[in-house]
Structure 1
Amino acid sequence: MSLTLSSPHSLILHAHAHFSPSPFIPIPTLRRLHLNLRNHHLNRRQRISIVSAAVRQDTTVWTQAPLSEVEPAAESLFHITVNISDAPDLATSHTRAGQYLQLRVPDAPKPSFLAIASPPKLATSRGVFEFLVKSVEGSTAEALCALKKGDVVELSQVMGNGFDISRVDPPENFNTILIFATGSGISPIRSLVESGFGAGKRSDVRLYYGARNLQRLAYQDRFKDWESSGVKIVPVLSQPDASWTGESGYVQAAFTRAKQISNPLSTGVVLSGQKQMAEEITSILVADGVSVEKILKNF
């Protein structure tokens, strides 16, 4: 569900987000460090102390774990399972759908930020994290998707607040939940749906899931189970073939055609996907009277 970062208030996390944060020294720290080192009054011991303090700012704790599954999930998408049975503290730190972590691959220069696709209960019951990863040429994700079962990767701590479903509870007060996902942004949505959020107790739960074509639509084998839990799935294909009879175009256009919101004040929203989609959906819903406080994102 891809992930975009332009400011702390415009982050939409996708499962294959490939940020490039330095795992070492932040840029502002480097600038200050450069100015300090130019100061001729500092002796060698003082300069070493400054460098050491800057390096210590990287507080990420990395846990090694083997891959237990690397399988195609859809066109350009891979289902990745990491065995964390030897890291119980890491497993129990996944407490809410929508959380994410960093993953490092040997010989890849930078980590990838990946949303956890499996529900939290899977980490504690089976000792695994599952991910839906888009293989992007030249990225850490591509290197990850090329690995095999048994290969070892490194995981950071679990991050983020995830989807705060408490903001759209209890179910009887929020009968309508609209969920929007594009591409691999469906990853944290899978975690949400399979975690359970009272979909069966709500009268109208819709998942608008956008992809280029059916070949790029992941988790089709799970749709039946999702619908049995109370989630109506609306696939939206932007470039379907001639045999497609469902919704086409972009997610926001498909939703605009349907709308059908019975009461904006009892409507909750979940967003995971492209920034433009998220912004346009937000504008449409807020204009219709949906509270911005009831529009949930996974960060």
Structure 2
Amino acid sequence: MSLIISPSPSLTLHPLAHVSPSLSIPRRLHLNLRSSRRRLATVSAAVRQDTTVWTPVPLSEVEPAGESLFEVAIDVSDAPDLAASHTIAGQYLQLRVPDLPKPSFLSIASPPKLAAKHGVFEFLVKSVPGSTAEALCALKKGDVVELSPIMGNGFTIDLIEPPEKYGTVVIFATGTGISPIRSLIESGFDAGKRSDVRLYYGNRNLQTMGYQDRFKDWESSGVKIIPVLSQPDDSWTGETGYVQDAYSRAKQISDPLATGAILAGYKDMIEAVTSILLADGIPADKILRDY
């Protein structure tokens, strides 16, 4: 069905009997123009929103994964074009929950091959009070949500290939920023062929750290996992503070020009880490982000 927008009504001045005598004609003209602009802006925003193609799909899993964390799986087997459009780690989409107007942006945590083979998208979602994410995490298997088309170019891993030339790769993730990193590790980027691949993964404590059950498999693929906790309990003996602190304490970058970096997570972390990496001599085009 096409959307028909009626032309804006012509501007008219109402009889003075219906207008406050304190308003001059120029003032009334200005208010009417401003009101017309607001109406046009509202219609334009609605038209832009309507240009998004939303695909209804059912949830196949919603399971707790930590403190306020949930693993969410969505069945896209009946949307093969959408599933096939996930081609590279680091891509994301918008998700809309029925009766809530504001969609949520979510990075796809599963590797592209999972969608291609099994018709599933997986996400790690933090339930934030009052958000679309909270509403999503309260849903059950079989409930229907809506997905936008795949967005983003993902991690341009070809910029740090071949692995023999870029033997060192340092990866930084915070919070649910681990989602695109999981997609990257499990889709394969030749970590086992590189001499030094480290993942600095920052969270408040172990209870808020997702995917701990996958660490063993990730390490067997060639990725050294370095958890970094900002508020650990007294039993914690690992790295503390922020991921940039842990990296600065270690450094051990023998050749900056043979080093790549991959970043995902909070904006402040990305900015801080990027500044440190650039100061270490790692080229800007070898510092990869998922946006």
Using the size of structure 1 for normalisation, the TM-score is: 0.83
Quote the residue 1:114 is aligned against: 106
Quote the residue 1:205 is aligned against: 197
When residues 265 and 86 of structure 1 are mapped into structure 2, their CA distance, relative to the original with a 3 A threshold, is: same
* Alignment pair present for 1:66 and 2:58: yes
CA–CA separation in structure 1 for the residues paired with 2:255 and 2:10: 64
When residues 103 and 215 of structure 1 are mapped into structure 2, their CA distance, relative to the original with a 3 A threshold, is: same
Quote the residue 2:254 is aligned against: 262
Match of 2:84 among 85, 92, 100: 92
- AA partner of residue 139 (structure 1): S
Quote the residue 2:138 is aligned against: 146
CA–CA separation in structure 1 for the residues paired with 2:271 and 2:44: 40
The Cα of 1:39 is off from its aligned counterpart by 4.9
Aligned length: 260
Unaligned runs of 5+ in 1: 1-32, 42-46
Quote the residue 1:185 is aligned against: 177
What are the Cα deviations for residues 187-246 of structure 1, in whole angstroms up to 9, with x where unaligned? 110000000001000000000000011111110110000000000000000011111110
* Alignment pair present for 1:244 and 2:236: yes
3-state SS in 1 of match to 2:182: helix
Quote the residue 2:48 is aligned against: 57
- AA partner of residue 285 (structure 1): L
The Cα of 1:57 is off from its aligned counterpart by 3.4
When residues 50 and 226 of structure 1 are mapped into structure 2, their CA distance, relative to the original with a 3 A threshold, is: closer
CA–CA separation in structure 2 for the residues paired with 1:53 and 1:216: 41
Which of structure 1's runs of 4+ aligned residues deviate more than 4 A?
47-55
3-state SS in 2 of match to 1:67: strand
3-state SS in 1 of match to 2:214: helix
Match of 2:217 among 204, 222, 225: 225
* Alignment pair present for 1:172 and 2:164: yes
The Cα of 1:107 is off from its aligned counterpart by 1.5
Greater RCO structure (CA 8 Å; 6+ sep): 1
CA–CA separation in structure 2 for the residues paired with 1:110 and 1:87: 22
CA–CA separation in structure 2 for the residues paired with 1:94 and 1:76: 27
The Cα of 1:56 is off from its aligned counterpart by 3.8
CA–CA separation in structure 1 for the residues paired with 2:41 and 2:10: 12
The Cα of 1:290 is off from its aligned counterpart by 0.3
The Cα of 1:49 is off from its aligned counterpart by 11
Match of 1:214 among 193, 201, 206: 206
Unaligned runs of 5+ in 2: 13-36
- AA partner of residue 145 (structure 2): V
RMSD (Å), alpha carbons? 2.1
3-state SS in 1 of match to 2:207: helix
Structure number with bigger Rg: 2
What are the Cα deviations for residues 245-286 of structure 1, in whole angstroms up to 9, with x where unaligned? 100111111110001001000000000011111111111110
3-state SS in 1 of match to 2:235: coil
CA–CA separation in structure 2 for the residues paired with 1:76 and 1:57: 33
Q: Percent identity?
A: 70
